[in-house]
Amino acid sequence: MSTPPDSPPFVQQLLMQAGQAMAQGMARWAAQQQAAPEPDGGAVGRLQRDLLASYGRLWQGMLQSGESRVPGAFVSAPPGDRRFSGRAWSDSPIYDYLRQAYLLNADYLGRLVEALPLEGEQERRQVRFMVRQAVEALAPSNFAATNPEFIQKALETQGESIRRGIANLLADLEKGRISMTDESAFEVGRNLAATPGAVVFENELFQLIQYAPLTDKVAQRPLLMVPPCINKFYILDLQAHNSFVRYAVEQGNTVFMLSWRNVKAEQGHLGWDDYIERGVLEAIDQVRAICRIKQINVLGFCVGGTLLSSALAVARARGDEPAKSLTLLTTLLDFAEPGEIGCFVDEKSVAMRETSVGQGGLLPGRELASVFSSLRANELIWQYVVGNYLKGDTPPAFDLLYWNSDSTNLPGPFLVWYLRNMYLENNLRVPGRLDMCGVRADLGRVDMPAFVLATREDHIVPWHGAFASSRLLGGEVTFVLGASGHIAGVINPAAANKRSHWINPQGLEQAEPEQWLAGAEEVRGSWWPRWAKWLKAFGGRRIAARSMLGDAVHPPIEPAPGRYVKERA
């Protein structure tokens, strides 16, 4: 089984497990045909005959193409697939045949997974993942001998591209990962995470950043952002033109950011309750103390949103109401539709993790980054293998991919609790089932007004899952569906005026997400202004912006973005 370079052990184990499941599915189909044969061999038999017929047409097209022997576009790549878009693929009959034969095989294998009699949806999800990994790894574009663009580039540069490619490969081997961007172009604190501010509180788990005001007047209630702890916070504060943090500050908000620590071995004992009690709830209390206010506005992104919602449920169980409003960006609370991450989570894999790191230890950030890259191997792995090593190119500077390469470690106890109780058993959605920080959590008591953003092409948090999650909250929910994926759909600056978002005046009255979408209105441009207008209703009266950050009890410790975010995995 071919796997992406540097695949972590549990990805390799999943691929082996899925390979066995597919073999068993084929054996099960064969046994069914032997016991009760269908005249046409059933769905699998029809697929096999269709494949043979397609190959026959491909050969016939090549034989009838005249002197050029180029069969033409009998088989087309899926929309957005640029691997074979260069003219070198279609100008040669050999490479054109390789391209089209590969696409035929890829389509057949994808259909075969859906036709095989497998044991349940989880097994089918894992086999889909395995087949996609194999198909994408074995593309003719990935190999020097079968990629005409490699040969063309080598001839044009008189071999210089080969020398550069080898140099790039050696540099990446020394670095331990594939280069996706020109990393010399960026520096955290200089041109990334550069919104002015100061760290005003810290503990073992996080630093609290307060950003300097950019308006004379600000909302009385501050805004606390809780990013995912599996990534670094500056995805929300990239460069000035695409910084969500800066945008929120420019709208007249006093903005605080919870900057999670890139944990080391000394923090390997930390669990879910630590991230709730000593993380989110501690940050909320510190913001309330600094601003001398009972309620604040809060925002959570991805896993940060799951943590934040859990923390608010804990607070409500204790009789506290710390939040005036809640914003959730691409967040799962109901994990019935877990996205592609779900293929990694079954009883066997979770039990293995519980044994290895459940009592203490770390999941290295490098392994976590490899998992996320494997979910989009063509875009995040193989295009850089081809570009960097075969063609000898240097990837351009791209802030989002620099962030993507800046991985973060996770404590083992936190990880295994999260995997079992969220992805495997989906316990958070059931009122009172989970004991968190000594209380029984109920998301129905998280009843402040909420703004929930999902994104239509999200493979980490499918928008149907985010839709179902929003219905667990007890307050009035404004649900917005953005275009694009998990990151690009969120980081969509208002000034760029790109993409769309969808709103439905009837709210969440429809029982099904597709019904909601059918009645929704498409609005051109970013969702940011809509959110800013919504948030303004919960900011309270306008007050003079604070001239100093922190207060007498919370003096600035160091300038933003602080040292925690600069620690590398």
Catalytic site positions: 302
Cα separation, 557 vs 275, whole angstroms:
22
- Among 309, 322, 513, which residue's Cα sits nearest to residue 422? 309
Query: Residue 38 contacts by C-beta under 8 Å, 6 or more apart in sequence?
Result: 45
**Separation of alpha carbons 541 and 554, rounded Å:** 24
Q: Which residue has the tokens 């878009």?
A: 85
Cβ neighbours, 10 Å, residue 426? 17
Element (H, E) at 405: helix 399-405
Rounded to whole angstroms, what are the CA distances from 323 to 217, 327, 414, 447, 468? Answer: 21, 10, 25, 10, 22
Q: Pull the structure tokens for residue 244.
A: 């969500």
In order of 50, 482, 492, 493, the CA distances from 496 in angstroms are: 46, 15, 7, 6
Q: What are phi and psi of 356, to 5 degrees?
A: -80, -45
- What is the distance between the alpha carbons of residues 60 and 69, in angstroms, rounded to a whole number? 11
> At what angle are helices 93-115 and 42-63 packed, to 10 degrees?
170
Instruction: Please tell me the distance from the alpha carbon of residue 495 to that of residue 380, in angstroms, as a whole number.
Output: 27
Report the C-alpha gap between 131 and 117 in whole angstroms: 16
Placement of tokens 């990629």 in the chain: 147
Token representation of residue 222 = 């501050």
Distance CA 130, CA 110 (A): 10
SS3 call for 451: strand
Question: What is the rounded CA–CA span in Å between residue 485 and residue 462?
Answer: 9
Are 456 and 483 within 8 A, CB to CB?
yes
